[in-house]
Amino acid sequence: MRVLFVEDSARLRYSVGQALRHSGYAVDLASDGEEGLWQASTLDFDVIILDLMLPKLDGLAVLERLRSQGKRTHVLLLTARDAVNDRVRGLKAGADDYLIKPFALEELLARVEALCRRGYGHKSNRLQVGDLEIDTSAKQAVRAGHAIHLKPREFQLLEYLARRTGEVATQSEIEAHLYNEEAEPMSNVVESTVSSIRRKIHLPGMPHLIHTRRGMGYVLEVRTP
Amino acid sequence: MTTIRNQLKWRILVLEFVLLWNTLAIGLPITWTALTRQFDETLQSQLRSISTAVEREDDRIIFDTTDLPSPHFTAGEIPLLYQVWDFEGHELARSPELVGDLPRPGDPPSEIPQFQTSTLPNGPRIRTATQRVIPVANGPHLSPTNLRGAVVSVAMDRSRLDGRLLGVALALGGSAAILMLVTAFVVPWVVRTQLAPLDELASKVQGINAESLSDRLPTDRLPGELAPIVTRLNDLLIRLEVAFSRERQFGDDLAHEFRTPIAELRSLVEVSLRWPETRDASTDREILSIALQMEHLINSLLVIARIEGAMEPIGSKIVDVNELLEEIWRPMADRAIARLVSLQMDIPEGFSLSTDPVLLRSVLNNLLDNAVEYTPEGSTVRVATISAGASFALEVSNPVSNLSESDVPLLFLRFWRKEPSRTGSQHSGLGLALARTVACRLGYTLTASLRDRQHLILTLSGPNPSGTALSTPAIKTGLPRRTA
């Protein structure tokens, strides 16, 4: 999952960015409203965490312009303003959620995860594809009762495929959701990661779950023989 | 509850009642008198006619009815009665219809007609006119009897007069009652109708709350009396809106200044605890920096609170301003050098103030700190003193690039910062507010102005009775120029 964090406090950008990365998100950062709007407009994010009081362009203006562009990305507003009116204004401007500073990191991560789930039409933090179960909160995958040990990037990719079960995910889409703007993934990194996941989730006698569509991408689904 | 509507209604009603009462009290007697006089004039003309029948015959007074039209003498529709006496009271003649006697007032009887109301024994109320009549003396010799003449009294039934008087009284009283009744309904309706704009205004004013301060009361189609009130109310709303906006901004700024560093601190610590491998010396430095920033913020607020509450005693000492400014500048010189900011001081040698040195240091420190922080890189901060007798003025001026005239009144507001996002954690917007509070406590004033839209001038001024008085021009050439 890819998250954009727009915040003018360098310390918060650093600490929240760290927390999001450690939680398995690809994180892009912006320090002012103009930069945030540019990134949000040109790139594809699952969630945008947006501070309200921003230099150059305040958060509400960023949000309104995004919505006017037709961007439906889920937005979590983050602000020191706690008045009801401020919250109402933010939500009316098109925000999906609102968090007041100071906040518990755990709560921020939970809200970001909930917004990610909502983006793919899931209400639970458990994804199931056949006998494969993925717990997006605990970052655990289990197949037929066997725990599967995945690296963070592998888990992110599997989760992304699982959220889009039955849909073909192209290599560029996977890269866009798994890597931030600063990362420059090697050309075969997605292919090798998918290969690694295939090996780890495959159990003898059980059907393969990740299928390759030549020239198109990958799809996670249960295929009946 | 006392309302204008009720007061107006009752006062109009009472006033109208008084006016009607006075109209009745004055009008009724006048009408009464006029009708009675008219009746009396008729009676008097009848008296004159009857009196022509009193004649002198030799030495006797006789009443000759020969020329009278008929025994039942009438005048128009009014029945007429008469009775004639000689001067001594012996009856000479009377109307055949007369029952009893007519009143014979006056002793002796007057030659001027006397009018009187009385009742005959048979019932009717009559009005009589009585006059002493002396027949015309044609001969040279008049006896005493002739000179005394006769007394003639005529009477008319006054029932018609009484009826007219009663009719007039009833007409006036009835009209007054109807008028009162109509007024009792009309006045409240008129008052309510005329005061309807006031009700509408009250309703609109009642609907104003903190969220609708930007609304304005309509001034068109208002009565002339209300228009200036509504205009004043709208002016008040503008001031309230500004005050609320500032208050809200103050709340937002305060929240930001406290919540943001706490959020930074909390997230840094939570990340370190959850992922210990991320923690390094820079994390600790950031945490310490946040703690110092909050300490500074709290100390500034405490100082302002204490000074405003006059909790801190004020000392008094002769302070050499040059020396004090040098001491203040020293710790901020490195920061100034880094920004290529220089200091120019045009202060006479030996210029001193008699004041609290600690508080004066706080004021000047904030002024210089503000100048070094916000003046564009490569600028010169100028400090100059101006003395005018027993008072002084000290100016700290520096070029500015992003201030407007509208910003100047806001400079001393707590937490005000030009950048609404309040990015950056070194300054909280309390410095100038603190400086002004301290200056006030010292008995000084601290003002700000913008010269040519390019130079911000902060002026500290006040009395300096025991300080060094400068009789020569305050800004001397050749003063030491100190450049950071």
Would you list the domain boundaries of chain A? 2-119, 126-220
pLDDT score, position B425? 54
Residue identified by tokens 């309703």 is B203
**Beta strands in B435-475, from DSSP E residues, in sequence order:** 445-451, 455-463
- What pairing do the DSSP bridges indicate for beta strands B91-94 and B380-388? unpaired
The domain in which residue B69 lies consists of 4-165
Say if residue B31 is in the same domain as residue B77: yes
CA distance B54 to B284: 143
pLDDT surpasses 80 at A83:
no
Q: Is residue B340 part of a domain?
A: yes
ipTM at complex level:
0.75
- Which residues in chain A are closer than 8 Å to B268, comparing Cβ atoms? 11, 14-15
**Given this model, what pLDDT does residue B368 score?**
92
For residue A51, the chain B residue with the least C-alpha distance is: B421
Q: For A136-163, what is the mean pLDDT? A: 87
Q: B294 with B425, same domain?
A: no
Predicted pLDDT of residue B316:
83
Q: How many other β-carbons are positioned within 10 Å of the β-carbon of residue A72?
A: 11
pLDDT of residue B479: 33
Q: Look up the CATH number of the domain holding residue B134.
A: 3.30.450
The DSSP element (H or E) to which B236 belongs, if any, is helix B227-274
Interface probe for A, chosen from B247, B257, B271, B297 (most Cβ of A below 10 Å), is: B271
Distance (Å, rounded) from C-alpha B106 to C-alpha B213? Answer: 89
Q: What is the DSSP string of B301-316?
A: HHHHHHHHTT-SPPP-
CB contact under 8 A, B252 and A81: yes
Domain total for chain B? Answer: 3
**Whole-number pLDDT of residue B478:** 33
What residues of B are in contact with residue A102 (Cβ under 8 Å)?
259, 262-263, 265-267
A2-119 topology per CATH: Rossmann fold (3.40.50)
Main-chain phi, psi angles of B97, to 5 degrees: -80, -5
Q: Is residue B206 part of a domain?
A: no
| Nearest-by-Cβ selection for A80 from B248, B256, B278 | B256
Give CATH for domain A126-220. 1.10.10.10
Asked whether residue B214 is assigned to any structural domain, the reply reads no
In this predicted model, what pLDDT tens digit does every residue of A33-48 receive, in sequence order?
999 999 999 988 999 9
The dihedral built from the CA positions of residue B194, B196, B202 and B208, taken in this order, carries a sign that is negative
Of A121 and A200, more confident = A200
Taking residues A172-193, report their average pLDDT.
Answer: 77
B50 and B153 within one domain: yes
- B53-105: pLDDT as tens digits: 888 777 777 887 776 655 444 444 546 888 888 888 888 888 888 888 888 77
Q: What angle do CA B197, B240, B255 make, to 5 degrees?
A: 145
Residue of B nearest to A103 (CA): B263
Q: Which residues of A touch B425 (CB under 8 A)?
A: 9, 11
Which one has a higher pLDDT value, B208 or A6? A6
Does a structural domain hold residue B219? no
How far apart CA A209 and CA A133 sit, in angstroms, is 12
CA nearest to B255, candidates B431, B50, B415, B470: B415
Domain co-membership, B296 together with B390: no
How confident is the model at residue B224, as a pLDDT? Answer: 81
- pLDDT at position B474: 42
Residues B295 and B425 in one domain: no
Partner B contacted by A99 (CB < 8 A): no
In 10 A of CB A78, how many CB atoms?
27
The pLDDT value given to residue A185: 64
| CA–CA distance, B315 with B465 (Å, rounded to integer) | 16
Q: Is residue B171 part of a domain?
A: no
Q: How far apart are CA B139 and CA B136, in angstroms?
A: 9
- Which tokens belong to B158? 């006054």
Kindly give the residue spans of alpha helices, DSSP state H, lying in B78-156.
144-148
Residue B138 has what pLDDT?
56
Which residue of A7, A12, A15 to mutate against B (max B Cβ within 10 Å)?
A15
Give kind and range of the element (H or E) at residue B395: strand B391-399
Dist. CA B202–CA A143, nearest whole Å: 72
Determine the pLDDT at residue B472: 44
Helix-helix angle A189-201:A152-163, to 10 degrees: 80
**Alpha-carbon dihedral of residues B48, B52, B54, B59, nearest 10 degrees?**
130
The predicted structure's pLDDT at residue B79: 66
Give CA–CA dist A51/A79, Å, rounded.
6
- Two structure tokens written together for B16: 């109208």
A19 band by pLDDT with thresholds 50, 70 and 90? very high
pLDDT score, position B73: 47
Instruction: Kindly state whether residues B100 and B125 are assigned to the same domain.
Output: yes
Strands B60-63 and B74-75: unpaired
A105, A106, A107, A109, best to mutate vs chain B, most B CBs in 10 Å: A105
Tokens 């947006």 locate to A50
User: Looking at this protein, which amino acid is placed at residue B68?
Assistant: L
Question: Domain for residue B477, yes or no?
Answer: no
CB under 8 Å to A7, separation ≥6 — which residues? A13, A16, A29, A30, A31, A49, A51, A54, A78
Q: For residues B242 and B234, give the distance between their C-alpha atoms in angstroms, rounded to a whole number.
A: 12
The 10 Å Cβ neighbour count of residue B7 is 11
pLDDT by residue, tens only, chain B of 484 residues: 677 778 888 888 889 889 889 988 898 899 889 999 999 998 898 888 888 888 877 777 788 777 665 544 444 454 688 888 888 888 888 888 888 888 877 677 788 888 989 888 877 888 899 988 887 665 555 555 556 788 999 998 888 888 888 998 899 889 888 988 898 888 888 888 888 888 888 888 888 887 788 888 888 777 788 888 888 888 998 888 888 877 777 777 777 778 888 999 999 999 999 998 888 888 888 889 888 888 888 888 888 777 777 766 778 888 888 899 999 998 888 889 998 999 998 888 888 888 888 889 889 998 998 899 889 999 999 999 876 567 888 999 999 888 888 888 888 887 777 776 666 656 677 888 888 888 888 889 999 998 888 899 999 999 876 555 444 444 433 333 444 3
Is residue B148 domain-shared with residue B78, that is, in the same domain? Answer: yes
* Whether the Cβ atoms of residue A98 and residue A76 lie closer than 8 Å to each other: yes
Residue B174: inside a domain, yes or no? no
In a domain, B470, yes or no: no
Nearest to B83 by CA among B62, B68, B66, B104: B104
Helix (H, G, I), strand (E, B) or coil at B412: coil
Contact B349, B313 (CB under 8 A): no
Tens digit of each residue's pLDDT (9 = 90 or more) over B306-365: 777 776 677 888 888 889 999 999 888 888 999 899 999 888 888 888 888 888 988 999
CA distance B68 to B26: 42
* Per-residue model confidence (pLDDT) at position B387: 67
CA distance A99 to A84: 12
What is the rounded average pLDDT for all residues in chain A?
87
User: Nearest by CB to B260, which of A9, A19, A32?
Assistant: A9
**Residue B372: both structure tokens together:** 């070094």
